[in-house]
Structure 1
Amino acid sequence: MDILDRKLLDAVQTGIPLVERPYRVLGESVGIDEDDVLTRIARLKADGIIRNIGAIFDTTRLGYRSSLVGFRLREEYIDKAAAVINSHPGVSHNYLRRYTLPDAFGADACCPYNVWFTLAVAPESRLGLEASMAVLAQETGADAARLFPALRVFKIGVRLDMETDTAGVRKEEGDFFVGNGHSARGLDPDERRIVRVLQEDLPLIEEPFQEAAGQCGLSVDTMLTLAKELLGRRIMRRFAAILHHRKAGYTGNVMVAWPVPDEKVEAVGQQMAQFRAVSHCYQRPVFPEWPFSLFTMVHQKSREECEATVAAISRETGISQYAMLWTVREFKKVRLKYFTDDFATWEENVTIRSSLKACTEPSNHAGTSRQQSERELQPAPATYQ
């Protein structure tokens, strides 16, 4: 990659203009012509550096419910369990993680969850978030499961710095508080159609929105006007490129959990969000076995740079104890597709499986007790107390 490639990658991550010829406007901002933009993006996609270009939506503002989920799975179940979890259309990220724990928790401390994934359910879901998680827990044989929904969002959005050698521990200016994740009003049919088409990969042609507008039955101008309204209402967070971290040179990433007292969460969350290498910063609920209230995702070019960034965050915030959750295996990483039939299909299949199971279980007989077919799912033991 040359310097223009890197400038272009920074620009497309920030945002693609919602205009009839976005690549021409993008080129003007970088200092190259439209043809050069198209050629370079095509090459960067072929090299696997750019994953896709499209709309990035706020899941909750679309009416979906979502949460981070922690499962404790036995080693022998993990591969099959990952396939079961991945089958849910609302699972966009799924990882096996290894932990580096604070010294204060003792040498024998162990983390209660080893598989972490994001789960979303559609506005029309019959099961809902809690029951969907319970189904996955039962079908994977999880020993423990927890929902960790976002209570407050201080920062969200992966933007890899491509123009400098390293993001280091540099900080960004501004107020990064995003909100508490409450959903906005429902979308009308035109808006839903726009969401469906704009979440797809943007074609590499001079007027890439023509086909999408046609699929919506709208003119390009009308569709782009409505798209800008979604952006203004923060239903669409941005229209931009998503990079493949490792192909872009960012081989280090770690999820860090911080035990921050309630009265300090807002101030500390703002501080953490200002670090450029932090892509996500959320407040999540605490539990007896899990005292960590703030979660951050750190992306860097090496494990060592991740550790240096986390140490810098610790020094600045005064939060000396934290758990580092390193990725051991990536089971799934995809864009969530909204307003598709996949969610309803998954729930219908769950109903069918439950019905078949009920039909094949032995009936009750006088003087005998029916064996439990479903074990009670418990939260993990309080290993941190």
Structure 2
Amino acid sequence: MTASAAPKAPVTPREQLLNRIQRDIPIVQRPYAQVAAEVGLSEAEALAILREVKAEGVLRQVSAIFDTRTLGYQSSLVAAVYDEDTLDAGAEIVNTHPGVSHNYKRNHDFNLWYTIAVPPESDLEAHVQKLHDLSGARLTRLMPTLHLFKIGVEFDMTGKEDWNAKSAPQYTSEQRNIGYAVTELDRAFVLEFQKDLPVTEEPYADACAALGLSIDEVAAHAQKMKAAGALRRVSAVFRHQKAGFTFNAMGVWAVPQDEVAVTGRKMAEFKAVSHCYLRPTYPEWPYTIFTMVHGRSKGEAFGKIKAIEEEVAPGIDHAILYSTKEYKKIRLEFYKPEFAEWARQYLGTEV
């Protein structure tokens, strides 16, 4: 297996556009005119392409991406063990929690993996323990982020990048601001910008009207939230499967503790890696660093993990966990009443 994704061919303006809008969409009155000019298209051409991929289901939404931790939410990846004959039913119970945004069956003894986030005043461990009890799990392990080396999903829509291509991570632990005091304007901004923004000439018009601010004032506040680490970016989010990335692989690595800082940073530089975290170990779980990649095939996804191994982690014990069933995948929505409703019903509290 080589480190090359495919034979090289010229990149089209359409492919450049689909790559470009995953990085960020500027907060200006007519952002698509600006983005289109960067890739050699007119505004009308760019909008026609984006409306087409939206209609096809490839483009899930255009919205802001916020940092849960900076907004005060507590979050964690959770790994759980279920008997095979109770797994589907257990996963459906986990899905009822409003803070569970991703939930997958994977090829491991830990056969259910989900992400959960709860509001600032909530007890994360209590929520996870209740899910453990309700869903009939045999073992549940919290795997929170101890250090964020990278987060940022960007699919190579050209199919022409090398599997070992590099770029600096857009968002890491250094941008996070734990303890940030969220303002009322921040909350209002989040409620408007977590919505699916329209693919129109002026996609921010409704948000500006709702906030009672001009586009320049909204842009200035967005920049403040970015500087604080609360807002990562406004960008397009694609559906993995519809975009052709039908396979994901979570490479987990037993990197020694005294090497995790250097190794994690090196792994995060791979463009193919969308997520790179340091997580806790347990007696039955020796892996410290998690790297997520996506591919158009199992061979491509495994090839990307192999490229990381050969360049950064030769000889390091590792495993590749891949999804065999998707139970839930949504965007987390902040400041929603469903959290309090779930807590009242299952925990007997408001949080």
Residue in 2 aligned with 1:276? 271
* 2: CA distance, partners of 1:351 / 1:302: 42
Unaligned runs of 5+ in 2: 1-10
Counterpart pick for 1:300 among 283, 295, 302:
295
Deviation at 1:318, TM superposition (A): 2.2
2:109 is aligned with 1:115: no
* 2: CA distance, partners of 1:292 / 1:194: 38
Deviation at 1:216, TM superposition (A): 2.1
Residue in 2 aligned with 1:15? 24
* 2: CA distance, partners of 1:312 / 1:33: 38
Contact kept in structure 2, 1:259 and 1:319, CA below 8 Å? no
TM-score normalised by L of structure 2: 0.91
Deviations 1:290-318 (A, max 9, x none): 11000110112211112222122112222
Contact kept in structure 1, 2:27 and 2:215, CA below 8 Å? no
Deviations 1:203-243 (A, max 9, x none): 12222212112222333332222112112222111110011
Q: Compute the RMSD of aligned alpha carbons.
A: 1.8
Letter aligned with residue 147 of structure 1: L
2:239 is aligned with 1:255: no
Residue in 2 aligned with 1:340? 336
Deviation at 1:249, TM superposition (A): 1.8
Deviation at 1:177, TM superposition (A): 7.5
* 2: CA distance, partners of 1:9 / 1:176: 18
Change in CA separation of 1:240 and 1:221 when aligned onto 2, cut-off 3 Å:
same
Aligned-partner SS, 1:330: strand
* 2: CA distance, partners of 1:268 / 1:176: 18
Greater Cα radius of gyration, structure 1 or 2: 1
Contact kept in structure 2, 1:259 and 1:291, CA below 8 Å? yes
* 1: CA distance, partners of 2:180 / 2:145: 19
Deviations 1:87-127 (A, max 9, x none): 1111110000004xxxxxxxxxxx3x1100001001132xx
2:96 is aligned with 1:57: no
* 1: CA distance, partners of 2:221 / 2:315: 44
Counterpart pick for 2:138 among 140, 143, 146:
143
2:328 is aligned with 1:349: no
* 2: CA distance, partners of 1:60 / 1:138: 26
2:190 is aligned with 1:195: yes
Deviation at 1:156, TM superposition (A): 0.7
Moved more, 174-183 or 7-16: 174-183
Letter aligned with residue 164 of structure 2: R
Counterpart pick for 1:321 among 317, 321, 342:
317
* 1: CA distance, partners of 2:95 / 2:193: 24
Unaligned runs of 5+ in 1: 100-110, 354-385
* 1: CA distance, partners of 2:103 / 2:35: 33
Deviation at 1:3, TM superposition (A): 2.3
Moved more, 228-237 or 153-162: 228-237
* 2: CA distance, partners of 1:186 / 1:256: 35
* 1: CA distance, partners of 2:37 / 2:136: 55
Deviation at 1:352, TM superposition (A): 5.6
Number of residues of Structure 1 aligned to a counterpart in Structure 2: 337
Contact kept in structure 1, 2:152 and 2:170, CA below 8 Å? no
Contact kept in structure 1, 2:104 and 2:327, CA below 8 Å? yes
Change in CA separation of 1:351 and 1:292 when aligned onto 2, cut-off 3 Å:
closer
Deviation at 1:68, TM superposition (A): 0.3
Counterpart pick for 2:172 among 159, 167, 178:
178
Contact kept in structure 1, 2:66 and 2:230, CA below 8 Å? yes
Residue in 1 aligned with 2:4? none
Aligned-partner SS, 2:327: strand
* 2: CA distance, partners of 1:314 / 1:124: 40
Letter aligned with residue 112 of structure 2: V
Residue in 1 aligned with 2:227? 232
